[in-house]
Structure 1
């Protein structure tokens, strides 16, 4: 059970929010989070890098010169890997980099990663009604009141991504917006500060404790 102070739109402390996210044991926590992080970053690779072998490079059907008598090294094709414009030896070919991880392990890694960032977690009241229209300046001012510096990388987790909040924050360089049901280990660990609304915290418990 973790308790966090809840702040309102003005940055004032208005109460506390308790949430319970079962996490991995201390001796295995770093291992399972690391596995989930490696899996996410590896699965993001396209695996489309490709080179041509000497069999696939165009040309080279005719023997450049006769086998003996020229004084030069013997050569059978101008597309040999030793020649300029020739094939590539052991070059990359399209491949699938995907790693598998059980769903229970993935959710455990997510919960563990979030609980490990509890010192950098800022819980705020639902504030979608405070932005009657998209206004980046007002959103950044609220971040300052909550204790987030402009140069810090921040992750804003919402129960639902409203249009006004999305339009207000999409151009902020160090800000990433994310719905509560689409969390990932990389963004949880990459951010300097994590801002989460009370309703998003309830949704996280509902989705990832199942």
Structure 2
């Protein structure tokens, strides 16, 4: 297991401050994933309906001013969803701080496997499973495993993409959502050095 001394950065131990910054960053990340494209037309946006369906009095029927009334089939929608842009701002320093807090707090869930891609000349899922078993890392449908590499590796990606609950990301793409979900975090020595460089005070 990785030791605290291997990560050369510290954090503010104020729990309320930690929760605030993590909540702010993860809210922003989730907002960026939202499409906000749901849209319905109001009575003024539905084509047609300009002519009064029948005269105001004398027919015995209820008054009607337009066939595009929300009460009519084919009419507009009352209080329906409209297109919306979900925006929230976080600074780069806030994102770095949130990642640093989570990495520090999950220190006991981090495992160093330096030879993960050694001898992986072609995609092979069994090779990766055997390598994880060597380090007593079990695949559990209820627990997420996050692998962080210093460089993108196509063979590794193809080897694990059909294994449930394993996520592979680049060290420069570390994000709060992936860290929170991860029960086990797998690093290499090179990845650890880069993390120290990026998140060092």
Unaligned runs of 5+ in 1: 6-15
Structure-2 separation of matches of 1:181 and 1:200: 10
Q: Verify: 1:207 aligned to 2:191, yes or no.
A: no
Match of 2:107 among 103, 115, 118: 118
What is the RMSD computed on CA atoms of the aligned residues? 1.9
Correspondence for 1:171: 162
- Is the contact made by 2:52 and 2:64 (CA closer than 8 Å) also made in structure 1? yes
Report matched runs for 1:31-110 at 5 Å: 31-110=20-99
Structure-2 separation of matches of 1:23 and 1:107: 11
Q: Verify: 1:26 aligned to 2:24, yes or no.
A: no
SS in 2 for 1:154: strand
Deviations 1:40-62 (A, max 9, x none): 00111111111111111122122
Worse-matched range after superposition: 126-135 or 72-81:
126-135
- Is the contact made by 1:47 and 1:94 (CA closer than 8 Å) also made in structure 2? yes
SS in 1 for 2:50: coil
Unaligned runs of 5+ in 2: none
Structure-1 separation of matches of 2:56 and 2:136: 78
TM normalised by structure 2 equals: 0.90
TM normalised by structure 1 equals: 0.86
- Is the contact made by 2:42 and 2:78 (CA closer than 8 Å) also made in structure 1? yes
- Is the contact made by 1:126 and 1:198 (CA closer than 8 Å) also made in structure 2? no
Deviations 1:3-46 (A, max 9, x none): 816xxxxxxxxxx9711233343331111111111110011111
- Is the contact made by 1:24 and 1:109 (CA closer than 8 Å) also made in structure 2? no
Structure-2 separation of matches of 1:76 and 1:24: 65
- Is the contact made by 1:79 and 1:87 (CA closer than 8 Å) also made in structure 2? yes
Match of 2:138 among 146, 149, 154: 149
SS in 2 for 1:193: strand
State the number of aligned residues.
198
- Is the contact made by 2:2 and 2:108 (CA closer than 8 Å) also made in structure 1? no
